[in-house]
Every structure is written in C-alpha cells, then in structure tokens.
Amino acid sequence: MSFGLLLSGMVSGDDMRDVSEGDDVVLECRFGPHLSTRGPTVYWTRTNNRDKDNVAIEGTPLEQNYEIDYVPTAGKYDLKIKNASYDRDNGKFECRMRSQGSGHELHSKTFQLTVLLPPGPPRITPVEPSATEGRTIELTCSSSGGSPDPLIRWYRAGMPYPLESIIKNGGSRNNPTSAILSVVPQRDDDGTDYRCVVWNRALGEGEKLESSTQLNVNYYPRVKVGPENPLRVEKGSPCRLTCNVDSKPAVNSVKWTRNGRFSETSFTYTIPRVSIQDAGTYVCQAENGLGQSGESDLSLEVLYAPIVSVIAKKEIEEGENVWIKCNVSSNPRPASIEWIKMDDPNFRQTGDILRIERVSAANVGTYACKAVNIINPSGDTSTYERTGNATVTLMIKHAPGKTFIEPAEPNVVEGSGVTLNCGANPPGWPLPNFRWWKEGSESTISVGPQLNIGSAKVSSEGVYLCQPTNEIGTGTIASATLKVYQAPKIVQTLQPQILKKTGDTNFKVSCTATAKPRPSISWAKDGQILQPNSQLARGFYRIETHDIEVKNGAYTVNSTLFFTGENRPSGQILAEDRGYYACIAENEVRKEESHMYLRVQHKPIFIHQRTSEIDRVAYDSGETAHIPCKIQAFPKPEFDWFHNSLTLNFDSKHSRTYEQNLTILANDVYISTLIVHGVQEEDYGGYKCKATNSMGNSSSVITLEAKGPPSTPKHIRVIDATEVSILLQWEAGFDGGYEDTKYLVQYFSDDEAVGEASCQNPCNITGLKQQTEYNFRIKAVNDVGTSDFSKNLTGSTKVDLTKIPDPIEVKFEPKSKTLLFNLIKPMPMAEAKIEVFVSGEASWRKYRMIPLEFVNTHEHIIEEEKPLEQVRVSICFESEAACGNSINADEVNSVPAKAHISGRVPYVIGGVVSGFVVLICVGLILMFCCCRKKKIVKKDYEMGRGRDATQDAPPPYYNGMENKGMERSMDVIEDTLKNFDQQNGYISYNGLHHQPVNGNGTIPYIDQNSYSNSNNGGSVNSQDSLWKAPQLVPSDQQQINMQNQSINHNHLHATMHHQQQQQQQPHPNHRNSGNYEHHQSYSNAPDDYVSYDNRGNYATDPYGPIPKPKRRLDLIGDSPYHELSGLPDPYLEPTSHSHAHPTHNGGGHEQELPARTQPMTMTFEESLESGYSTPNSRNRRVIREIIVW
C-alpha cells in the first residue's frame, strides 16, 4: 500500500490539490450559468494556520499573486495562485456563491491545498537505546519541516512488514510528526537493528528518508551443562562437567550444587576419579544482577563393571544338594551371569544360582561366578565389555584321591635348594596330612605338603614318595625321582699365555672338565667357535675329546686341540695362530671357560689396504703426502724407507723433506707413515717400505702419484633384496687421491629403461619391480674423472606376497575327497599349497605342494584316510614361505561335471589330433609317390630355371631385448594340445594357414607393436603382466617336419643353392626406417608345387582362435607346403658383422652398455608366444627357417 493512497482517504469530500512552493496552481470553481441571473455574490475564502479571511470577492482578488478568472455566463469562477508559499497558501480554500439579500448559499466548492515541503531527516530517541529483557522500552522516531505531515514507519531488521506504532501528527511544518514504537525486548532482540522510514508527497515515489538504531538488551542467564546430558562416565575415569552461561552482562562465576549442597564456583567442575557415590544430579546456577537467575541440571551416571559377591566357602556332606546365590551390582545391568569351575573347562552354568544335586568328591573345587556387562561411555562410539567375578570354595568331606608330586621330574644343582610339592586329586577334606619318605627306607623324613631340601648333595639323589591321609581315608602313593646335577668344573685349565715361533710343530693344548650330566667341550678362537666340521677347523686344527671316567653319573671329559690340519704346512705354527683361545665346558646347568693367549713370533707381514691392486697414494704437487706402511709383526719391527733405490735418512738434509711417524695398534699391528713435505715431480714413484725384526724382514712398494680418476670397482655382490629394492656392495678401487669419491650405479631390466643412482658403498637401489631380474654395473666418480664400468652383475627382486592372486571358486567334495579350484589365469611357474584340517587334530597341516600347469581349472584327489573338516589352498612362488592368502574351500555335495571329465580332455584331444596327423601323413606319402616320376623327368630342367617373385623386405632387426618366449619354446614344444582350440569338430592351428595376402600375392609384414609399457602387456606400474599366463609354442610344426623328410633331395639342393645366392645380397639397415623397401627374390621351386602366393583364397576359420601373424611365410623358403618350422633362415638374417655396428644417432659413452641378455629361467612374467616374431617386446626380431630333409 503506497503513502498516496493512505492520504487520500483521510479528507474525503474536499478536493485535494498539491503545489510545490513557488509554483502556480489554479483552483477551478464551476457553477451553473443560470445562477448568474440571480445576481449572486461570489467570493473565495482561505483558512490557514494564521487565520480565515476572504481572498477574492467577485472578480477582485484581495491578495497579491492571486488572480480571478470570472466568467458568469460560462459558470466559471477560478482562482489562480502564483508563486505559492507555505505560510500563505497552505490551507483550505472555499469558493462560495450566495444570493443577495437572503444570503442563501447557491453554490460552494472547497479545496484542500497543500504546499509541498519535504520532511526533515528522521530523529530517533533514545539515541543508544538500552533495555532489559521483558521490560518495555519505547523508541520514538520524529520528523519536522515537511508538508504535509510525513508518514513514519518502523521496521525490524529482517522483517519486510512495518511494525505497529503510535503516530502523532505535527499538523504543520513547525511541529514534528512522530511514531512511537513499544518493544518488549527478548534475548534475541539484543543487537537487533530497528529502522525508521519517513515519507511525504513532496518526495518522489522511490524516495524516502531513513534512520536506524541498534537495540542493546540485557538478558537473564541461559545455562547449558555438558558435555552431554545425561553424562555416562566409567568408574575410575576423570570427569569434567561444563557449565556454559549465555547472559548480558556476562557472569564471572557460577554455583554448582548437588543435592542442595554447594560444590564449586568455576565453569568446569572436575572429578579426578569418579566413584559410584558421585552419581546423581548436578545443578549449575548463574546470576548477572538483573534479578532473575538461570540454572540447568545434569544427570551423572557412573558406569562400572559388575561387582560380584558370594560366600567364601561352603562345606557339605557327600550326597547333599548345593544352592549358592551370586550377588551382582553393576551399571548397566549385567548382560550375562554364569558359573564356571576352576580347572574344569567343561563345567558351566548360566544364571546367578549355582545348583549341584547330590554332590560327590568330584565336585570339590573352586567355583567362580562371572558377570559381564557392556558399557558405552559418553563421547565414545565404541562399547566395552567389563567383567567381574568372585569365587566360592566348595568343600565336600572326602578322602584324598590320586596323589601327585610337582615337579614330576625334579632336578637340582649340587649345593642349591629344591622344593617338592605333594597334592591329591580330589584333595580330600578335611585337609589331609602328608608323609614323605625316601625309597629304600620307611622312615618319615618330612610331614606336610612340601618337602624342602636346602642344599642338595650327590647323596640327595633318589626316589621320594608322598602319601596324604585324613579322617575319611588315605590317598595313593606318589613318587618322584630327584636328580642332582653338577655344574661343569674345569680341573685342567689352560696356561694363561703361551709364546711360540712360526715353524714350531707338534703344538697342542688340553683341558679337562667334570660335570653331571656329561659336559660338552668346545674350543673358540677370538670369540668364534671352532666347529669341528667347518673348513677352518678341518684345515688348521684337530679336536679330540674322550671320557676319562664316570662316577655317580658325573663325567670327567678331556679335550685336546691339535694345531695340525690339511691346510697347515707340516703342522707348523703360523702367524695367524696368534689370538685368544677358550676351552668351553657346558651342560644343562651352565658353562665354564678357561682362556689362553697364544703369542706367535713371526717376521713382518704386510697388511695391504686393497687386495686386488698394489697400494697407491695420490697427492698433487706442493701438497704434503702421507704414505702409510701397515704391517703385523712380533717382536716389534724396525722400518726403513727407500726411494729410487736410495735409503731415506731422516737425520740428514732430507729430513726437511721426509719425516717418519710410527703408530702402534692392537694385535701386533704397526703403521709407519712416511710424510713427504711439498711434493715435487721427482718425488713421484715407488717407495719401498722394509720392516725388520729378529724373525726376518719383509718389504713392500707403495706408489706415490698425482691425483687422477678413480679405479674401477670390483667384486660386486648382492647383500639383500626385497620386493622393490636390491642392496649392493662392492670392493672399492683406488680413489685417485680423493676421499669423497662417489659411485654411479646403472641398472636395467628387460622391459625397463636404464636407471641411474648416485650413492656410497653399500648402495640400496629402490623403486624396482617385484620378481624382476636386473643387471647392475658401477663406476667410480671423483673431481677429475670417472673409472670404467665394472662387470655386470645380475640380481632379482623378490615376490610381493600381497600381489599373489588368490585361487577362486575353491570347492571340496568330502565323499570323494575331490578338491577343485580355478585361477584367474594360468600360472605355470607357481605351485599350489594344499592344507588340511583333519578331525582330531588341533591345527592345520600341510598336505602337499602341487605344480600348476597351463590351465585355469585344477582338480586334485586328497589321499587322506582320516575325515577332513576343512581344506584350504594358497598360491606359492619360489618356496613355501612365499605364498599368498589361504582360501578355505566351500564344501559341496558333488563335483561339477566339467571337473570329472577335465582330466580326460587332454587324452581325448590327443587321440583326435593323432588320428588327424596319421591321415595327413598317408595323404602326403601318396602324393609323394604319384609325383616322384614326374619330378625325375623334369629334374634337370627345374634345377636350371628360376622364377622371379617379389617379396616384402624383411622386418627390421632391433638390437635389444630378446623374445622371452622363444628362449623356452623348445622346453614345451612336445605339448601338442595346449595351443589347439577345438570348435565344432574342427581343430584350428592358431591361424598358421590364415595369413592375409596382399594384392600382389605376397604376405605383408604385420607389425604387432604393443602399446603397453610392459613387454607382456599391461601398465608398467600394474600387476597385470606379472601374472600373465604364458602361451605355448604349437608343436604341429614338428609333425609336419617329420612328414616332409621324404621330399626330393634334389629339390633341396636347388633351394639351398638359391639361398646361397641370396646370402650375397646385403640387407639395408631398417633400424630407423618406418618403411620397408621391396627386394627381389628368386625361387627354384618346380611348377608341380603350388606356390603359397596362390593360396590367398584360403578361408579363415571363424571359430578358431584369432590369427597371430607372427612370421612371414613368404620368407620361409621354396617349400611348396610353406608350413615348416625349425631352424632360423641364415640367408635372411642380418649377419653378425652388421649387428656389431648398430646405427646410432649420437656419440657413445666411454663404454657402451652390453646387450641385454635373456635369463635362462623363465619367471611367471614371461610370455611363451608361439611363432617367429616377438610380439611382447618393444624391439623384436624375426626368426627365419631353413628346413633340411
């Protein structure tokens, strides 16, 4: 609803006219012209805030800026007001016509003229309103200076409709018009904006004046307790009760009460360890001075495990009934209550009452009442099981039962104590008395359930007996044999130190020990046991051990260590014999040792820093060189140094250049260091170090040279391997004089690019593929250059057990004990581990490892006499430890029909194929006999003539990875059934007869590049290729080769002669070429044999396997059958000379990578593709054949 419409309804009956101050306005007064004939008097009156007066009579205006337009005959009497002003013209104007004499009013017209003035800006009071919740506050919005009186509306923020308010009109522009809004504020009103809108007709429809204020409300406290209500806390756990107060003004503290008693004033009420007594209702109360407090209560529930109580013991007579109550207190209530008997897992009763009827001695024992409840503390999504129990001892008067002694086989070390415990089952009640005695004597040696022997002697050994007795009866007699052991004691010790010379013979040392049980004596050198069967012991030592005597079970054993052996020359003492020797006597009690230090006098022996090359040091000119000479000798040696055959005298003038430093290490090791100050060119060369002592002398040459590139690392070896890494170690060569020499490791596999890693020795190469063979080579790198690469080392990563596929559809039929399972694809390199769970056994047992063949479905009869409860299967690689998940078999009533005949399928197919091959052989023999005469007649002619034929160029030969399948093809070629697909009674030979033919009669070379990053398909990072099933090479070629052996030898001679001519023609290099140039080929085949060029009309078997054009049949030779396989064609294969010089786009390194060799052992990643090409390799070669018959 607009402001204009509201105003028009306020003064009905008057004409409303608006005029802006300063504008002109015409007030039109119309009357009937006939009234003018009566001679009336007409005039205009004006009523404003000041007075009421006439402004015009007849045609005469009485005010300036007023004009009269009076036309009686036309009934017109208009008042025109010019330059309207508020003080003068704002008011009521009346046009009146009265008759003369009587004054009777003939006509009147009233106008309410409003001189429009815009209102003044709204003003809100109070300026910053503040209220208290629930107490009324008035907001006044006023505006003055406007004409007419403005309309004032109040709005609350977020509400589109005006609020109800009291309007007080000013009546003039000098008096303000106001709207009073009464608000009873609530908490939500705090901070709320209230807006006042002012408008009158002086403003446009879209214009308005606004002002707003924000209401500040003080509200009473709102209290919220937590963290949850009710709050569940487990007994013994800490508890924090929180009190959150929302109030204005804010409160500084709260008051916690429990059961009306004051407890705490902080906002957080903490109970360190909740007890059952802490459960109840807690009230948090808050006040902020507004006269009304807020409060909220929280219920604390204390969760606790069952508290179980029963009587401690109960004594009854045999034959009576037992009834014992179990009292349980818990929160929440127990989920279960049951009785169990200690030491009797078979006894169990449910409920809180233990009932046993007609008890006997077998019921004696301790019974436990066990209660379980489930708790769920607040704030925890998990539930927890809590248990409480209490025991009662049921005592039934009875005689002791079967007696026993613990330990059953006691033993004690001489001088130590031992305790034997005697008991009975049932134990007997009242408690029995125990009597102990020793076999061979009836004298009582002790009474009570225990026999204590404080310090055992050899005489303490023997059989001890025990028997319990009470007022009801006597138990059985139990016995135990006590063995008294003696710790080893070395009675003949080793001499602490012995001095020998190299060359001494017939040296031996002995020691003797006594112990019970019999001690074993071993020898150790420098902490390492000399194992009698080890190579070290047999080569340099001989150990003899024998018993001297046996007395009272105690053995005296002597052992002698002879310094003689097959590797010790003439039984002489060697320098290496120095060290610490130990004679170790040991039995079940402990071990005892005797030690000896053997010192050997020998001449100096040099200890070289490197074993594979002479000692070298490197320093540049001007540097100070340190040349170490390390030897081992006893007694202490003297050192002499020589350079260029001259003795270096450290006391002469050379002492300024040369200096000697001696370092003494343990184990008779000495290091003489020659220091050369300010190295010059003439200082380079060999330095002879000579060491001399009383046993002789030795010398060695150490070369001083300028710094340079390092030497090649040697003796690389694999230290460890995981599924994704291999740890390498090697013998470092000379570092060229740079201690910070680094090493570059290159590695590659058959289907990965060369990788490099810079590391130190040892080096862990990571990021490798599982179950993959890698080649490694290493070179050293320092600041001035690099060494050559080392020899290649081959290492393999392990199998990732988590990636081994699980067997699927594992079924077991118990009646026939038939196990049937499937694989996602054939895995010929793997084995299946079958485990069985036999009735009566406590755990799984391995039954057998069976090899997996080139099939998906496997069936096995388990030959186990006992009933089988369960069977499971897992797939293993390399060993039983490298297995995948074990899958339990589902028990079925019958084995699928397909499984029953699966074992006979190979024989059926074999019979069909054999018959088919026999028919082919018969047909070939008949053809050969019929055509032989014709060939004899035409032989000379056919040998002399040739027939031109155009062949496609051979595919390019790429030097690189070999075909994995070809290397193992001969291992599996005997299997004639694996690669045949039988459909509708026809046998398809993998498309060998269905090669596509070009229009020119030749067979195109079909490039079967794989767009996968893996040799065998699949992503490099995926596991697809790892488990890819290998394919077999079809063996039908063997059969055809055998059939063709009777073909004319003259024809072979012609063919070989033609091939020798072809060998003279060099092949173009196709390494970087994408197109194949055609070349001429000459055929000497006779006309009687149909060329393969005319076989393009052979139809493809629509039900056979997809043809695999893995060879170029037009390159096989001139055999009319074109189906022969065997040897590669030497005339079409690039020569070895051409292979030795492959084309490169850029320069080579200092040493080229060797050609990648194919491992002889096939992994389960490899593919056994049949044919002649290598479709699973990025770089492939084509194998051609020459057939000899």
pLDDT of residue 609: 61
- The dotted CATH code for 123-218 is 2.60.40.10
Q: Are 356 and 395 in contact (CB under 8 A)?
A: no
The per-residue pLDDT for 912 is 63
SS3 call for 1003: coil
Q: Which residue has the higher pLDDT, 218 or 1054?
A: 218
Name 193's bridge partners.
Answer: 214
Amino acid identity of residue 623, one-letter, is: E
Strands (E), 852-896: 857-861, 868-876, 887-888, 890-891
- DSSP symbols for 512-548: EEEEESPPEEEEEETTEE--TTSHHHHHH-EEEEEEE
- Of the candidates 377, 274, 387, 289, the one whose C-alpha atom is nearest the C-alpha of residue 340 is 387
pTM for the full predicted model = 0.43
Q: What is the pLDDT of residue 1070?
A: 39
Residue 324 has pLDDT above 90, yes or no: yes
pLDDT given for residue 119 in this prediction: 93
Q: What is the pLDDT of residue 1025?
A: 44
> 359 and 321 in contact (C-beta within 8 Å)?
yes
The string of DSSP letters for 147-194 reads BSPPEEEEEETT-SSPBP-EEE--SSTTS-EEEEEEE---GGGTTEEE
Asked whether 711 and 790 are in contact (CB, 8 A), the reply is no
607-705 homologous superfamily:
Immunoglobulins (2.60.40.10)
pLDDT of residue 943: 39
- For residue 342, the model assigns a pLDDT of 92
Residue 48 and residue 32: Cα distance in Å, rounded?
Answer: 29
| Shared fold status for 310-396 and 402-451+460-479 | yes
Separation between Cα atoms, residue 403 and residue 432, nearest integer Å: 11
Q: Quick one: which of 1127, 1125, 1129 has its CA closest to 1115?
A: 1129
List, for residues 915-959, the tens digit of each pLDDT value.
777 788 878 887 777 665 444 444 443 334 344 434 444 444 344
> For the residues of 328-388, what is the DSSP string, one character each?
EEEES--SEEEEEETTEEEEEEESSEEEESS--GGG-EEEEEEEEEEE--TT-S--EEEEE
> Residue 614: pLDDT band by 50, 70, 90 thresholds?
low
Range with the lowest mean pLDDT among 336-345, 868-877, 1071-1080? 1071-1080
Query: Architecture of 3-116 per CATH?
Result: Sandwich (2.60)
**Alpha carbon distance 69, 26 (integer Å):** 10
pLDDT for 535: 79
Residue 1142 clears pLDDT 80, i.e. is over it: no
Write out pLDDT tens, residues 689-725: 999 999 999 999 999 999 999 999 999 999 999 989 9
Q: Which of the two residues, 947 and 300, has the higher pLDDT score?
A: 300
Compute the distance between CA of residue 1005 and CA of residue 1182 in angstroms, rounded to an integer.
10
Per-residue pLDDT tens digits for 67-104: 999 998 889 999 999 999 998 999 999 999 998 878 88
Q: Is the pLDDT of residue 1101 over 90?
A: no
CA distances from 167 to 121, 141, 170, 178, 525 (A): 17, 10, 10, 6, 117
In terms of Cβ atoms closer than 10 Å to its own Cβ (0-12, 13-18, 19+), residue 275 is: exposed
- Going by DSSP bridges, is the β-strand pair 773-781/742-748 parallel, antiparallel, or unpaired? antiparallel
Superfamily of domain 714-796: Immunoglobulins (2.60.40.10)
**Angle CA 777–781–786, to nearest 5:** 80
Q: How far is CA 942 from CA 442, 946, 951, 1052, 1131, in A?
A: 120, 8, 21, 12, 22
* Rounded Cα distance, 750 and 960, in Å: 9
List 630's β-bridge partners, or say none.
Answer: 671
Of 278, 316, 280, the C-alpha closest to 298 is 280
Mean pLDDT of 872-893: 87
* Region 227-303: CATH code: 2.60.40.10
566: pLDDT strictly greater than 80: yes
Q: What value does the mean pLDDT of the chain take?
A: 78
Cis, peptide link before residue 407, omega less than 30° from 0: yes
CA angle 620, 626, 631 (to 5 degrees): 140
Is residue 46 within a helix (H) or strand (E), and if so which, with residue range? strand 41-47
1042 contacts: CB under 8 Å, gap ≥ 6: none
Q: What percent of the chain has pLDDT over 90?
A: 50
Paired with 348 in beta bridges are 340
The yes or no reply on domain 493-601 and CATH 2.60.40.10 is yes
Closest CA to 629 of 645, 644, 640: 640
Q: What percent of the chain has pLDDT over 70?
A: 75
The CATH number, out of the four listed (1.10.3720.10, 2.40.10.220, 3.40.50.720, 2.60.40.10), of the domain defined by the range 310-396:
2.60.40.10
Nearest CA to 125 among 138, 140, 144?
Answer: 140
3-class secondary-structure state, position 69: strand
Least confident of 495-509, 627-641, 669-683, 904-918: 904-918
The DSSP element (H or E) to which 1179 belongs, if any, is none
Q: Note the pLDDT of residue 536.
A: 76
Q: Judge whether 691 and 639 are in contact, CB under 8 Å.
A: yes
Helix (H, G, I), strand (E, B) or coil at 267: coil
Give the pLDDT confidence score for residue 910 in this predicted structure: 60
Is 1160's pLDDT higher than 60? Answer: no
The answer to whether the beta carbons of residues 1083 and 949 sit under 8 Å apart is yes
Ordered alpha helix ranges (H), 217-329: none
List the chain domain ranges: 3-116, 123-218, 227-303, 310-396, 402-451+460-479, 493-601, 607-705, 714-796, 802-895, 908-1139
Distance in Å from the first CA to the final CA of the chain: 115
C-alpha to C-alpha distances, 1002 to 523, 953, 1036, nearest whole angstrom:
81, 11, 24
pLDDT digits (tens, 9 = 90+) for 5-56: 333 333 335 789 999 989 999 999 999 888 888 888 999 999 998 889 999 9
Among residues 743, 730, 729, 734, the alpha carbon closest in space to that of 711 is found at: 734
pLDDT the model gives residue 988: 36
Match 């604390």 to its residue by tokens: 300
Short-list 584, 622, 771, 600, CA closest to 693: 600
Give tens-digit pLDDT for 746-805.
999 888 888 888 888 899 999 998 888 899 999 999 999 999 999 999 998 888 877 788
How does DSSP classify residue 439? Answer: T
Topology (CATH) of 802-895: Immunoglobulin-like (2.60.40)
Mean pLDDT of 392-413: 92
Torsion of CA 523, 524, 530, 536, to 10 degrees: -130
The mean pLDDT value for 873-892 works out to: 86
Alpha-carbon gap, residue 523 to 1001, rounded angstroms = 85
Query: What CATH number labels 402-451+460-479?
Result: 2.60.40.10
Residue type, 954: P
Sheet holding 831-838, edge to edge: 845-851, 831-838, 868-876, 887-888
